[in-house]
Amino acid sequence: MFTTIFKHKPLIHHLTNTVTINDCANVTLAVGASPVMAEDIREVEEMVRLAQALVLNIGTIDADMQAAQRLAASEARRLNVPIILDPVGAGATSLRTSFSKELSRLGCTVVKGNASEIKTLLGENGRTKGVDAASDEIMDREIIRAFARKQKSVIVVTGPIDYITDGMREVELQVGTPRLGDVTGTGCMTASLIASFLGAGYSAFEAAVHGTFIMGKAGGQAASEKGLGNFKRELFNAISLMTEQDLMEVVEHVN
């Protein structure tokens, strides 16, 4: 745990999917922040007012969740609560494409997706396959940087090399492992990690780098486990055992 960074236990409000909601709660706890999931439209604004960061994930979006995310995003913008958007499956269906574009235009602090999802937000035709990226997506980074500047968002493109930019600065991280794709929710959990750092007061760029780095590094530490049960257990072990000291490595990476 990052006991210094999260000593005030920032509350991370999640409006997220039912597939990985448990893992998102546990990964938030694993680093030392505090998760909450409250999705009724009658309470989302109240919960945003208590929260230090807001996660919007469209993985199992429906009309009620859309309404809740719109309200929560609006209240978060009003109060300067940082927002991270995870546009799961953007490009796969028109509902996901249009709603993730709508949310991204609200001015999210961080937008994190795989290459297909981010391409879709850029207006290109991402070849999203279900919720996973086509493996051979190639992206023009200048286009991503221009998008980041225009939206005033930090963009995280996860993949074999994770790419993070605020439009000016950029970082490539190659600490991950393809094994992270063998477990559902590692992308969603990365958003929870980024949100935790946002909630602790880190800048959008730093939070994006730290959260992405932690998932990648933990995946690398767990990757020697062949079985999926062991791999997932070790992934959670590695995240929960990481400390402020481990973040020195990525800081050097950035400088």
Residues that bind a second copy (CB under 8 A): 9, 11, 13, 17-23, 25-26, 29-30, 34-40, 42-43, 46-47, 50-51, 59-64, 89, 92-96, 129-132, 181-185, 226-230, 232-241
Residue (80 or 94) nearer to a second copy, CB = 94
Task: State the maximum Cα–Cα separation within the chain, in Å, rounded to a whole number.
Answer: 47
> Which C-beta is closer to a second copy: that of 99 or that of 205?
99
Q: How far is the CB of 19 from a second copy (least distance, A)?
A: 5
Q: Return d(Cα 32, Cα 204) in angstroms, integer.
A: 19
Among residues 27 and 156, whose Cβ is nearest to a second copy?
Answer: 27
In the bound state with a second copy, the residue whose beta carbon lies nearer, of 5 and 144, is: 5
- Least separation, in Å, of the C-beta of 17 and a second copy? 7
Q: Which is nearer to a second copy, 203 or 237 (CB)?
A: 237
Question: Is 40 or 172 the residue whose CB approaches a second copy more closely?
Answer: 40
Q: How many other C-beta atoms can be found within 10 angstroms of the C-beta atom of residue 6?
A: 18
Nearer to a second copy, 142 or 229 (CB): 229
From the CB of 205, what's the least distance to a second copy, in Å?
26
Residue 194, CA distances (Å) to 21, 53, 130, 207 in order: 16, 9, 24, 5
Q: Report, in Å, the least distance between residue 11 CB and a second copy.
A: 5
Tokens 């009724």, located at residue: 40
Instruction: Answer for the pair 180, 215: CB distance below 8 angstroms, yes or no.
Output: yes
Q: How far apart are CA 194 and CA 240, in angstroms?
A: 15
| φ and ψ of 14, to 5 deg | -110, 130
Angle between helices 21-31 and 228-241 (to 10 degrees): 40
Looking from the CA of 168 toward its CB, the CA atoms found within 13 Å total 3
Whether residue 51 contacts residue 74, with contact meaning beta carbons closer than 8 Å, is answered with: no
In the block, tokens 């949100």 appear at: 195
Cα 67 to Cα 70, 191, 208, distances in angstroms: 5, 21, 26
Rounded CA-CA distance 85/195 in Å is: 10
CB 142 → a second copy: shortest distance, Å? 30
